[in-house]
Structure 1
Amino acid sequence: MEPGTRGVSSWSGWGIEEPWPNKQGRCRATGAKIRGLISNVALSRNVASHFCPRPWHEPGQPAPGRVSRKSAALLYMLGVPGRRGVMRDGMYIVDGDGHVMDFPHRCYQKYLPEQYRRRIAFFPGAQWDRRQAPNGDLGRDPNTPQEMMADMAQEGIDLAFLYPTSALRIGEIREAEYQTALCRAYNDFLSDWCKADPTRLKGVAIVPYLDPTEAARELDRAVSRLGLVGLMFPTFIPGRNVADPFFWPIYAEAERLGVPVGMHASGSETGDPYRFSNFLAVHTWTHAPEQMISVISSVYGGLFEKFQRLRIGFMESGAGWVPFFMEHMDGEFEKRPWDAPLCKAKPSEYLTCGRAYFSCEPEEKTIPYVVGWVGEDNILYASDYPHWDSEWPHTVDELLKRNDMEPRVKAKILGQNALRFYDLKAGGSR
């Protein structure tokens, strides 16, 4: 073989082309990438014995001789065929609220119609340096689904449901046609991303909320044709709350399709954050208060009464505030029930009816207390990966090591509840 060319040798057993030296004796880029992967992920002693193309285990089944988390991550990075799920303590781990990094170069500049691709900014609002840290950037930025699944394997996650990052602010777009184009582009991108392994990656759609009729059509396309499994509803849409009858055709379509709605905050310019001068204060303020507004709207506005088969999740705001707010809403409603004619029961009864779900932060000390209020079947584990404030790769460990919850409750929070919310079985099938 001529110097500077590449061929396939024993590396092919790992699904990788072997890099050969070039004329200067330096390894080509592929070789450098391989060395980087191996240096970044520690090999266990017996990892070599696992380098063979066979299934590692089926979801929900015991896995004799399964690889370690780091070994599983390495296998994904190296492209070894076969399943690399990592059952943690016999539990099937499901991330109920993960994210894809839908940055312009990765998503919108490729998937948008030509007339929109030249925009300097695709979404409105002030730009904060969310990832800044004294010793380097915070968070992760997986460039491919394979990189994401490698990180999932290292964390110990078997299945992840993916929400957007940039498009968390889709509700702030004021141009209806442009919003429709953004939603279609994002949903196409997300569908392609999840096709890398539909048993491990599931996408949650966005729709053009300014046009409910078009939004219902896009949701049907996203679910029926693209394989997405839920609807994200932004908590902040200027001038309307999430239960405004204007949006009811969207909820009706979600109910018809049997997919859940995830209310998701953006953590940005909502609730008059300009009272603050830094991102720490803005981010601390926005998530939980926005979800409180969503809960008020959903309950008082009659979503649970009007759509009695619809499952609604309140995502990425923690759960510790929920008991306080249940009690607070009950007290307020008792004094003025006529202001909420579509609310036929106490607000707390809707939040414990089995169709309201709340994501939790693994480190929240109040989780057992929240379980006592909303029940153990309606709290979801959420990693928030790959965002700057995620505790990756320790979020699963954070929940598993706790001694204030029974293993049964941990198994529900870490997997079973999310599968019920999204109406899927282990392995991502219906």
Structure 2
Amino acid sequence: MTDSLLPRIISVDDHIIEPPDLFQRWLPQKYQDRAPRVERRLISRASQLFDGLVEDPDGAPGDVWFFGDSAYVLRRPILILKDVETTAAMRGNETATYDEMDPACYDPKARVKMMQTQHVDASLAFPTFPRFCGQALSEQTTTDRDFGLACVRAYNDFMVEEWAGESEGRLIPLPVVPLWDPTLAAAEVRRNAARGARAVAFSEVVGHLGYPTIHDKNWDPFFAACEETGTVVCMHIGSSSKMMPLPPGAPDVVTTTLQFTNSYASIADFVFSGVLVRYPNLKLAYSEGQAGWLPYAMERMDHAYLHHTWGHGEEPMPELPSAYIRRNVYGCIFADRHAIENARKIGIDNITFEVDFPHADGPFPKTYEHLASQFEGVDAETTYKIIRGNAIKLFQLDFDKDLTFDWDSAA
């Protein structure tokens, strides 16, 4: 397949750096005294990436999201700067301000313009300040759940009406839900589905956050709403606020290397919970976990189910675990040549692509070059489905003209 024929990307994992006045504009007036807000502070240069706020009068200026008793410091690895050369070269964890970052981080019109330069047609963006499944909005409102629900609804109103609203389908809305109540979460899914949202952010292991687990049918109202409305349950690595613990003395890069294990653990949890038996049309999408490991995971889960019968739940599954993975689960890749070469073992319809804009491990500003290297020598059907086609079908996107891709001319 020649470079000129590479399909334009539907990226199912990007991120939004929320505009600093989001909640001032979308949250009801009666809650404004407690609304999440951004303030500029001087921050210690010795502070590490996820330490939170460590102030220092001799430190560097940085913008900080304050909400309840939490502080989220904006840092350069999660965004791009106006200076593209500096962005491409940076590898540190320096603080950042909205003045320094490219407007494409937080402004929908600027984002679409940036996408056009990067061979990207559509993008689904996970939260930043609220964290990957919006858990901050639930954690910081435990004493006033009406306030918490108002914050969730304000974020979703922004996401659906402003972020995605005038993008002509290029920005795919990704709402969040109140995690303390599956019934309220179901209602929020239906509210957003009624205005066109077909995705929802959720935790890979919600029980780690202190909320009801997916077992004992706790979340069935939510899953029923997602299945009924065709809403995809989108789970980003780290959305359980936990990662694989580091061995003593190991550098942080070990965590990055092992991040796929979060997705593996979540898929196994869903498969053996019985959720996918009760909701056969429910779709689960895993972001930033890659997919090259899935053939082994399916083999291992099938073996465990057949040979470790003492470990089954109360309701045995009518099919092997691998059947549910191929029917209900979608992996997401951005640097996984192994998955591309083994796409038919994984399931050619079960892999999607991401750009991870504007995070530092993404390919910006050479997205097309990276895409070409990943799909060099790959057949046209596999290329189209992973880069674009599977996401169009999964998220019910209105890009029908591109579904008539000419396999013969592209071969």
TM-score relative to the length of structure 2: 0.73
Q: Which amino acid aligns with 2:394?
A: F
Q: Is the Cα–Cα contact under 8 Å of residues 246 and 255 in structure 2 kept in the other structure? A: no
Correspondent of 1:329 among 301, 313, 321: 301
| More moved, 188-197 vs 284-293 | 284-293
CA deviation map 1:43-79 (0-9, x unaligned): xxxxxxxxxxxxxxxxxxxxxxxxxxxxxxxxxxxxx
Q: Is the Cα–Cα contact under 8 Å of residues 237 and 263 in structure 2 kept in the other structure? A: yes
Residue in structure 2 matched with residue 215 of structure 1 by the alignment: 185
Q: Is the Cα–Cα contact under 8 Å of residues 162 and 204 in structure 1 kept in the other structure? A: yes
Residue in structure 2 matched with residue 147 of structure 1 by the alignment: 110
Residue in structure 1 matched with residue 268 of structure 2 by the alignment: 296
Change (3 A) 1:163 1:278: farther
Change (3 A) 1:377 1:405: same
SS state at 2:326 partner: coil
Displacement of 1:134: 9.9
Residue in structure 1 matched with residue 318 of structure 2 by the alignment: 344
SS state at 1:352 partner: helix
Displacement of 1:241: 4.1
Alignment of 1:299-310 (within 5 A): 299-310=271-282
Change (3 A) 1:377 1:344: same
Residue in structure 2 matched with residue 360 of structure 1 by the alignment: 333
Residue in structure 2 matched with residue 66 of structure 1 by the alignment: none
SS state at 2:398 partner: coil
CA distance in 1, matches of 2:359, 2:344: 30
Q: Is the Cα–Cα contact under 8 Å of residues 241 and 297 in structure 1 kept in the other structure? A: no
Q: Which amino acid aligns with 1:235?
A: E
Q: Is the Cα–Cα contact under 8 Å of residues 12 and 391 in structure 2 kept in the other structure? A: yes
Q: Which runs of 5+ in 2 are unaligned?
A: 38-65, 79-86, 93-100, 403-411
CA deviation map 1:202-252 (0-9, x unaligned): 111111121111111111112213x32211112143245445521111110
TM-score relative to the length of structure 1: 0.70
Does residue 420 (structure 1) correspond to residue 393 (structure 2)? The answer is yes
SS state at 2:105 partner: coil
SS state at 1:262 partner: strand
CA distance in 1, matches of 2:390, 2:320: 24
Does residue 204 (structure 1) correspond to residue 205 (structure 2)? The answer is no
Q: Is the Cα–Cα contact under 8 Å of residues 199 and 428 in structure 1 kept in the other structure? A: no
> Which of the pair has more CA radius of gyration?
1
Residue in structure 2 matched with residue 131 of structure 1 by the alignment: 77
| More moved, 131-140 vs 380-389 | 131-140
Residue in structure 1 matched with residue 63 of structure 2 by the alignment: none
Aligned residue pairs total 340
Alignment of 1:17-416 (within 5 A): 89=5, 91-102=7-18, 105-112=20-27, 113-117=31-35, 120-121=66-67, 129=75, 131=77, 135-136=89-90, 142-167=105-130, 168-171=132-135, 173-174=138-139, 175=142, 176-191=145-160, 192-225=162-195, 227-237=196-206, 238-239=209-210, 240-242=212-214, 245-266=217-238, 269-271=241-243, 273=245, 280-281=252-253, 283-284=255-256, 287-337=259-309, 339-340=312-313, 341-353=315-327, 355-361=328-334, 363-401=335-373, 402-416=375-389
Q: Which amino acid aligns with 2:379?
A: E
Displacement of 1:171: 3.3
Displacement of 1:156: 0.9
Residue in structure 1 matched with residue 409 of structure 2 by the alignment: none
Change (3 A) 1:224 1:316: same
Q: Is the Cα–Cα contact under 8 Å of residues 199 and 427 in structure 1 kept in the other structure? A: no
Q: Is the Cα–Cα contact under 8 Å of residues 363 and 370 in structure 2 kept in the other structure? A: no
Q: Which amino acid aligns with 1:142?
A: C
Identity, % of aligned pairs? Answer: 24
Residue in structure 1 matched with residue 47 of structure 2 by the alignment: none
CA distance in 2, matches of 1:187, 1:153: 25
| More moved, 242-251 vs 121-130 | 121-130
